[in-house]
Each structure stands twice: as structure tokens, then as C-alpha cells.
Amino acid sequence: MELTILILLLPFLSFLILGIGGKWMSHRTAGAIGTLILGAVAVLSYVTAIQYFSAPRLEDGTFATLMPYNFTWLPFTETLHFDLGILLDPISVMMLIVISTVSLMVHIYSFGYMAERDEHYHKEGYEKGFQRFYAFLSLFTMSMLGLVVATNIFQMYLFWELVGVCSYLLIGFYYPKHAAVHASKKAFIVTRFADLFFLVGILFYSYYVGTFSYDLHDMPELATNLAGATWIIPTALFLMFIGGAGKSAMFPLHIWLPDAMEGPTPVSALIHAATMVVAGVYLVASLFPIFVEFAPNALHVIAYIAAFTAFYAAAVACCQSDIKRVLAFSTISQIGFMLVALGVCLPDPEVGKVAMTEEYADVNGLGYMAGMYHLFTHAMFKACLFLGAGCIIHAVHSNEKKYMGGLRKYMPITHWTFLISCLAIAGIPFFSGFCSKDEILVACYNFSMPMGIIMSGIATMTAFYMFRLYYVIFWGESYYETHKSEGVHAPHEAPLTMTIPLVILSIITMVVGITGTLHIFEFGNFISANGLSFATHTNWTVAGVSTVLALCGIGLATFMYKGEKTPVADMLARKFPRLHEAAYRRFYMDEVWMFVTHKIIFRFVSTPLAWFDRHVVDGTMNFMAWAANAGGESIRSWQSGDVRQYAVWFLTGTVALTLILLCL
């Protein structure tokens, strides 16, 4: 475990090498350095995971929580101090696998995708920057790895902010494009706004509880603080969740994520699959025992917010024409599923917190395992979907679905890998999404019947809009064949550097799905709400109903979008134009935010504050400066240098002072 420090140092080293010396390197050299270093990070992550999960469990049946490195940076009290180190527990080790795997696939994929962009940057209005891109990728990967192995909340916050900075750099990578610059600023501002609440929550938590630690029971001296802080802990935790909601694009802080599609497609895959957007999920999972014990109601509020977000994003995804934005709203919806899974967990009725029993892990705490399982499976198939979308954009030179259609004949590898990922996210048996989504639905039904029904409906919508996307890309009327006479370039399969990651990710999706469906691989043996190993049991009632609903969604999408023409979809758009336009415009949430910021905040908050700053604060300082200057000018004549004048003033003052004293 001593080599785990290299998991953070190697990508940072890659960033320094490529950031400082990249301009003197060729494309191939820079890409090879970044990819090889990330390959080494992935190998170290796999070795760490094997060593960790193969080690004997503790006497209580849980995996040990290890800190190979930890040092105190700033001590305040015996329990309150800023620490920097590396923490290994089941979910952090799992995240190491997810982040390093997806990042490695993105690095390999970018070797072909970004090289082609650099070659045609004049034509497409981009900026050359292959080496710069790999430097930013390395820093982004290091930031997310540092976030998941943080030993305390404050260290998490440090890397949390660094992730935000890296997202700004990568989303706005094509800085000559106004849309990319606008999107990067939007992402930065929205997430910074949410992060303010995260920081306030941390300050509340640390002040009243007296620690930055995830575990409140590992220090007996905190017992007094905990007894007096039970009222503030739910508030602090919910404030921290708001920060996570910004990163994970929960409603209404979701507006930055669809616009983030202006960045390069590999960036979209990295942000949406394994890194930035799951930070909020990881935050709630890290604080899960505290939520369950001290703020179960706050946890349930998170579930309701996430459920609404999942529904909203699914509804918007059904009407988008930009394929990357469909996938973006799909990500928002799936992150909602993960947070719902965490939010529907309940404390054990006997102890009022997480119980150390297998029954708790399999019933009241099932959502924890299901949410983490879905995070793992979603990372693989969503990365495959985004990278597949990049291959499609590479072939047709557009994000819009009207320029696609019939691409299965020209891009067989992309077609089959995209189909596998669509089946996975739809929740079809023997694909990875089925295993994780089924457990989420079971956890929702354990919580309440209405929540289970709502999430089952959203799962059906997921199957519909994903296969709508699949059919409009790979089936239907071919844009190339109908516009061949106009000189449209024939679509073609992407190079091997771009298709190999698709094949690897789709294989992972299928292997995890088959082994999970047949219960050969039990995710609950590694990660659970209380750390105990348990074997999941397929609830065939829930699984059967969800599969039928998924097939209904797929069938409806097939009926409406498979043919060369889409008369039913066109008819519905004409019959309900306002609803279709509203969904296409994201139910005008961007306009709402523009109204709130410009008409309310800027007019009634920013403008008065600017006036106060300009007239009162600056006016006061300017007056003091004027008064000092005027006073100096008025007594300037006193400093004449004439000793006789000084003597007269001295004697006059002495006499006056003497008379005053005599009068008193």
C-alpha cells in the first residue's frame, strides 16, 4: 500500500511534464507520455484494489480502513486539524478503479480524436493544443483521485475546488469558440455558487462537532460535542449536499452540464462518466453513517430532489436533437438514480443508525450498495456512449441528429458498442445496468411504494429516450445517402485508437452484466452500507416488471423512430408544440436563471451593493484622504523655518495653557 502515493504523484508529474515542456514535444510524444503514465496509474489502482479486497476482514466482518499516508498540516485543537493523506476504504478503492479505467480509455481515445482536431483546427475554428489537452487531462484525473482518497472533509474540499478549476479549463479548451468560453464560465460560476454552501456546511460542522473526520465515533472525546450539536448537524450536512448538488448537476443547479458539451467529447466522457458529476454522490456516500444517524430526514429530502431531477432530465432528453446533450441529460437522470438510492436508506429501528447486521445491509441499507453499484456500472457504459458519440461526430462532423441516420452500415464497431451500452442503461438482463438499477428499484420499493413506482416510470423513460437516440443515429433515413450529390463526405469508422476503448468498455459492461445477473459476481461482497458482506437476492417481481417496462419503452421508441420517416413523432410534435418546445428548451430553466440573476439579484442586490461600495465605502476613504490633504495644506504655512516665529507660537501657547490651568 506504500505505492498508493504514486497514484496521485504520477498524473501530477504528467501535468508538469506536458504543461511545461509540451510545446517542444510532438503530438505522438505528448500523447504517449500522458497515456503511459495513466496506464501506470491504472495498474497501481488495480494492484491496490486486489491487495485491499483480498486482505482478511476484521473481526467484525468489515474491511479495514487504511491510511498509508497522513500528516497534520494545520492543528487547531486535539480533534480539529487540517490533515493531508490517503484513505483507503471500500468505496474509495472502488472509485480508484472507476476513475483510472475511464481516464485511461479517454487518454487512448484522445490520441486519435484530438489529433484529428489539431489537423483541421483552422477549418473548424478550434485552437491547436494537443499537449495542453493532455496536461489538463492529467491534472483533472489527479484532482479526482485526490478527492476520493481524502482522509477528511477539508482535504476533499481542496481537491473538490481543483476539480472545478480543471473542468473550467477543459470545457473551455476551444477558447476561440464563444460558446465554449461561455459554457466554461457558466460551469465555473454555478459550481462555485454551490461550493459556497459546501464551505459553509464544513465550517458549521467543524465548529460545532470539532472535527473534519468522516467518522464521528472514532474519537470518544467528541461525545460531548455530538450531544450538543445534534441540531446543527442536519443543517451542516444539507449545506454540504448543496455543494454536491452543484457538482452532480441536481435541479436547479443542473444548468451548467448540458452546456459543458461544448468541450471536446473525451472531456464530456470523463466529466459525465467517472469524475466530476459523481463527486456529489461520493460526498453523500462518504458521510452516509452521519446522515443515517443524525439527519435521516435530510437524506430523504435528497431522495425527493434527486427523483424530481431524474424525471425532469429524462423528460428533456426525450426532445433533444444534439446527441451529446441527450447523453448529458441522461447523465443528470442517472445521477439522480444514485442519489435516490442513497436517500431512501433508513436507520435501523432498534439502534437508530447503521446496524452491523447482514439484514440491515440487505434491506434498510440496500440503497447504499445499489447506488455505488450503479455508479460503477454507469461509469463504464456512459463512457462508452460518450466516446461512441465522439466517433459519430468524427464521422459526420456534426452533433445534430438530422445529419445522421443509417450509420450502422458505415460504423459497425461503433454501432454494436453503442447498442450494448443502450441495452445496459435501459436495464435489460445480462447487461450491467440491469443489475444495479434493479437493486435501486428494490430499495425504492422498500422505502415506499410511490417512490418505487416513480423510479420505475423514470427507468421506462430512460429506455425510450436512449433507443430514440440509437435509432435516429444508426437507423432511419441516411443523411449521406440522400445528400450524396451535394458533396457530403461518406461516414466512416473511427481509427483503432478510438474504437478500442469502445470495445473494452462494452466488454466490461457485458461481463459485469452477465456475472451480476447470474450472481457470479456479488457487488455486496465488497461494498455495503455497514461494510459487511452479503449476497443480493434478485427480486423477480421487481426485476420482471422493470424488464417489461424497459422493453415497452424500447418498443415504443422502435415504433416511433426506427423507420426512414418518423410520422408519429412528427405528429406529436405538431399536436403538442408548446410542450415539445418547452422540453426542447429545457423547460426554460436557463431563462429562469437569467431572470433571477439579472432582474432580481443584479438589480436589487448587486446594484445597491455597488452603489454603497462606490459612494459610502469609497466616499469615506476619499473624504479621509481629502481631509488629510486639506489639513496638511492649511498648516503648511506654520512650517516656515523662522525661529522667531516658532518662539512667538511657543510663548503664546505657554501663556494660554497657563491661563487655562489657573482657571481650572
DSSP string of 547-571?
HHHHHHHHHHHHHHHSSSS-HHHHH
* Residue 108, strand partner residues: none
- On the 0-12 / 13-18 / 19+ scale of CB atoms within 10 A, 613 is exposed
Beta bridge partners of 71: 84
Whether the per-residue pLDDT at 127 is higher than 70: the answer is: no
Residue 420 has pLDDT above 60, yes or no: yes
* Exposure letters 139-173 (e unless 16+ CB within 10 A, then b): bbbbbbbbbbbbbbbbbbbbbbbbbbebbbbbbbb
pLDDT digits (tens, 9 = 90+) for 456-506: 999 999 999 999 999 989 888 877 777 777 777 778 888 888 889 999 999
At 548, is the pLDDT very low, low, confident or very high (cuts 50, 70, 90)?
very high
**236, 325, 440, 456 from 528: Cα distances, Å:** 25, 33, 13, 23
Determine the pLDDT at residue 50. 92
Residue 357 has pLDDT above 70, yes or no: yes
For residue 533, is it left (φ>0), alpha (ψ between -120 and 50) or beta?
beta
pLDDT greater at residue 361 or residue 487? 361
Beta bridge partners of 66: 88
Q: Residue 118 — very low, low, confident or very high, per pLDDT cuts 50/70/90?
A: low
∠ CA(216), CA(444), CA(289), 5° rounding? 5
Cis, peptide link before residue 252, omega less than 30° from 0:
yes
Higher pLDDT among residues 351 and 91, named by residue: 91
Q: Quote the pLDDT of residue 454.
A: 93
Round to whole Å and give the CA distance between 310 and 397.
30
Residues 602-613: what's their mean pLDDT? 87
The answer to whether 309 and 332 have CB atoms below 8 angstroms apart is yes
Number of other CB atoms surrounding residue 195 within 10 Å: 19
Question: Which is more confident, 656 or 80?
Answer: 656
pLDDT over threshold 80, residue 67: yes
Dihedral sign from CA coordinates of 254, 256, 262, 264 = negative
DSSP class per residue in 60-94: TSPPP-EEEEEEEEEE-SSS-EEEEEEEE-HHHHH
Give the residue-averaged pLDDT of 578-592. Answer: 85
- Whether residue 119 has pLDDT greater than 60: no
**How many helices (H) and strands (E) would you count in the chain?**
29, 2
Q: Which of 157, 144, 220 is nearest to 192 (CA)?
A: 157
Q: Decide if pLDDT at 250 tops 70.
A: yes
Exposure of 637 by Cβ count < 10 A (0-12 exposed, 13-18 middle, 19+ buried)? exposed
Strand-pair partners of 69 = 86
State the pLDDT at residue 396. Answer: 85
Across 266-284, average pLDDT:
83
Q: C-alpha distances in angstroms, 275 versus 125, 281, 317, 424?
A: 28, 11, 21, 20
> What single-letter amino acid sits at 448?
S
Helix, strand, coil percentages (3-state) for the chain, rounded to 5, are 75, 5, 20
| Most confident among 21-25, 535-539, 549-553, 562-566 (mean pLDDT) | 549-553
Is residue 120 over pLDDT 70?
no
Place of cell 476561440: 176
- What pLDDT shows up at residue 46? 93
CB-based contact 248:339 (threshold 8 Å): yes
Model pTM score: 0.88
In terms of C-beta density within 10 A (0-12 exposed, 13-18 middle, 19 or more buried), how is residue 233 classed?
A: buried
Least confident of 99-108, 316-325, 638-647: 638-647
Band of residue 569 on the pLDDT scale cut at 50, 70, 90: confident
Average pLDDT, the chain: 86
128 versus 663: which is more confidently predicted?
663
